[in-house]
Structure 1
Amino acid sequence: MSALPLDAEPTAVDYYSGGRTTYLSKVPEQKRAKATFNRIVSAAVDLLLERGPAAMNTNAVAEGAGVNVASVYSYFRNKESILYFLAEFYEGSRVALVASGAERIRNGADWKQTVSELIDAMVDFRIAHPGCVVVRNAVASIPDSPDFDASSTREAAEALLECFLRLSPTSSPQKLRKMTLFFADTVTVTVDRAFATTPHDAQAIAFLKEMSETWLSTYVDA
């Protein structure tokens, strides 16, 4: 088990806990409204997993959530808004995992162990939240959709950069920035590929952890 925080089940997630409002028509403020909102988003995830993006529409989401379609439209303009909200939620969660690990390193935790736990946490998140994979693919199929992956990778890299600036005070900040961006992207791509099969490729994850320690060690001052 990872030492980093993870939610247990996709349907138990408080989707509005992050306060993300970019793709919302209305913000759920009252307890009952938040419960309805979470049912709507959870129903969308379940629909994507069970029937795929082609079957997802606002009527189907409303039926799955047990609400009328007007309730869906009160929060989302269309199905693309739901997908974008979910993409932002999942990618934001990924950044939060990295930020949590980065904070532990800044507070004195062993960086090698923490990086290993961070990769484990990302794997655990994928297992607990299978919707993140189908949402990423669905968003990628929408023309001119926002590049959530690139944005979150940059944010994750910046969080790691703060750590390695402390671990490698004699290294060039520009060089370290390139390194952390490459590392964040490599972890994302490798985890994606590992989950292209069921069950996921555990050997690929083990190799990723091994190579991460070896490669990152070259950037840490002795």
Structure 2
Amino acid sequence: MGAVTPTPTPTPTPASTPTPAPATGKAPKQDRSRATRQRLLEAAVSCLAERGWAGSTVSVVAERAGVSRGAAQHHFPTREDLFTAAVEYVAEERSTALRALFPHGAANRTAVVGALVDLYTGPLFRAALHLWVAASNEDQLRPRVTELEARVGRESHRIAVELLGADESVPGVRETVQGFLDMARGLGLATLLTDDAARRERVVAQWATLLDNALEPAPPEAE
């Protein structure tokens, strides 16, 4: 009987590596949509601060943001949607930035008081003011702005309590903090017409002293 030649074992071929998709150089659709939305919100606040409600249309905002009117309406179907969302967005951004400035709270109350007052003296406050005035005359806008103002007001108060190190369980402290915020809003209104920086600086220094005295823990009672 002749020798049987063994059949050679086939060499396994390595699994093929998927060919990566060619880079398109374009951001994912979701990222582009988010970026467009942010540009619209920032442009809306700028327009509202500079032009007021009457001069701030969706078309004007879209042009400033560099997008079409159709793209703007895709994100915000109505004018009211756009401007209330814009004011809320920028308020949230400012709140985040403010907290980041003072990660340890009231190490320097004068600096904290000054930063809180600044919330009411910039473009955001000017934009919000135009929105409030428009809401006082437009029934469709009023409930949305009233709700927005309540949310922003609560957040502003919460941040002030946190950064000032205020203990609201102490009688009168809550009213003191709210009184300070009301005063800051008044300074913001004064700034709309004139450069009130010098007087504002003196008022901030005085309020920092008042808050130091009002928020200082009371000494323990003698036994």
- Residue 187 of structure 1 and its aligned partner are, at CA, apart by 1.7
- How far did 1:201 drift? 0.6
- The alignment of Structure 1 onto Structure 2 pairs a total of residues equal to 181
Distance 2:109 2:161 in 1: 15
CA contact (8 A) 1:43 1:64 kept: yes
Give yes or no for the alignment of 1:136 onto 2:135: no
Aligned position for 1:209 = 204
Match in the other structure for 2:64? 64
**2 CA distance for matches of 1:184 and 1:59?**
35
User: 1:214: Cα distance to partner?
Assistant: 2.3
What's the % identity of the aligned pairs? Answer: 23
Whichever structure has more helix as a proportion of its residues is 1
For 2:189, the aligned partner's letter is R
Question: Equivalent residue of 1:146, what SS?
Answer: helix
Deviation at 1:100, TM superposition (A): 4.3
Kept in 2: contact 1:194–1:204 (CA 8 A): no
Question: Which residue pairs with 1:195 in the alignment?
Answer: 191
1:174 to partner: Cα distance: 4.2
Structure 2 equivalent of residue 151 of structure 1: 151
**Distance in 1 separating the partners of 2:166 and 2:101:** 12
User: How far apart are residue 133 of structure 1 and its match?
Assistant: 0.6
Q: Distance in 2 between matches of 1:131 and 1:157?
A: 17
Separation of aligned partners in 1, 2:154 and 2:179 = 10
Bigger CA radius of gyration: 2
Verify the 8 A CA contact 1:44 1:61 in the aligned structure 2: yes
Measured in 1, the distance between the counterparts of 2:50 and 2:131 equals 14
Alignment of 1:1-222 (within 5 A): 30-96=30-96, 99-100=99-100, 103-105=103-105, 110-119=107-116, 121-122=118-119, 126=122, 130-142=123-135, 143=139, 144=142, 145-147=144-146, 148-162=148-162, 163-165=165-167, 172-190=169-187, 192-198=188-194, 200-219=195-214, 220-221=216-217
Letter of the 1:114 partner, please give it: A
Which blocks of at least 5 consecutive residues in structure 1 are unaligned?
1-27, 166-170
Change (3 A) 1:98 1:182: farther
TM-score (norm 1): 0.65
Please provide the CA RMSD for this pair: 3.1
CA deviations on 1:126-163 (whole Å, 9 max, x unpaired) are 1xxx2541343224322324233443233232333341
Distance apart, 1:84 and its partner CA = 0.2
SS at match of 2:175: helix
Q: Flag as ranges the 4+ runs of structure 1 deviating above 6 A.
A: none
Point out where structure 2 has 5 or more consecutive residues left out of the alignment: 1-27
Pairwise CA distance, 1:88: 0.9
Residues 102 and 45 of structure 1: CA distance in aligned 2, closer, same or farther (over 3 Å): closer
Partner secondary structure for residue 192 of structure 2: coil
C-alpha change, 1:112 and 1:50, in structure 2 (3 Å) is closer
Q: Contact 2:58/2:69 (CA < 8 Å) preserved in 1?
A: yes
In 2, are the aligned partners of 1:84 and 1:139 still within 8 Å (CA)?
A: no
Q: Which residue of 2 aligns with 1:10?
A: none
Letter in 2 for 1:72: A
